[in-house]
Amino acid sequence: MEILSSLSVYLSNPRTSLNKKLLKICTTIKAAIPECDRVSIWLFCSDYSEMLTLMCVDEKGQQSIGEHLIASDYKDYFIHIIENEFLVASDARENEISKCFNNGYFKAHDIRSLLDITFKKDFIPLGIICCERTGDTTEWQPEDIKILKSISVKASLFISDNVSDTYASKSKEGIIKLLNS
């Protein structure tokens, strides 16, 4: 697939900044999965007590970093995604796993559908690539899931080599500072 080859080449360029590479992953997903209008890349803290956005591109194309979600607030989701690696929630507000976000995260961003996959290093979950639909729900298609899995493999290699080691010893504030530099 041309989209995967293009992403691999882009991510392998040592002269391209970390932020541009994270942005490329997000924009590639948005292009590959038309019903996804919001994409974010999240990094787990080493003890899985929370996760932090490394990059988010919303439905208006606006970029943001540094949002965090605490596991104790979203226990069902954290347990599920770490153990199962994947979540397909076409109606995220009614889904047993994802409805824990209804009063906070979903309401703040008008999220209706969710398609999430973990990325890993040495078979250990490092974080999540999150595809979301805002405004109305969508039925995620098998092709959407397949391409997200393929992009996740490419992204996992890049993120595990470039992000996890860089941020493993950093505080949340330190990570945000690095991403903003």
Give me the domains of the chain, ranges plus CATH numbers.
Answer: 35-180 (3.30.450.40)
pLDDT at site 41: 96
DSSP tag of 48: S
Work out the average pLDDT over 64-78. 94
Is a pLDDT exceeding 90 seen at residue 95? yes
pTM to 2 decimals? Answer: 0.89
- Residues 6+ away with beta carbon under 8 Å from 67: 40, 52, 53, 56
Angle of the 18-32 helix axis to the 2-12 helix axis, nearest 10:
170
pLDDT at site 181: 58
pLDDT in tens, 100-152: 999 999 999 999 999 999 988 888 888 999 999 999 999 999 999 999 999 99
Is a pLDDT exceeding 90 seen at residue 174? no
Is a pLDDT exceeding 90 seen at residue 24? yes
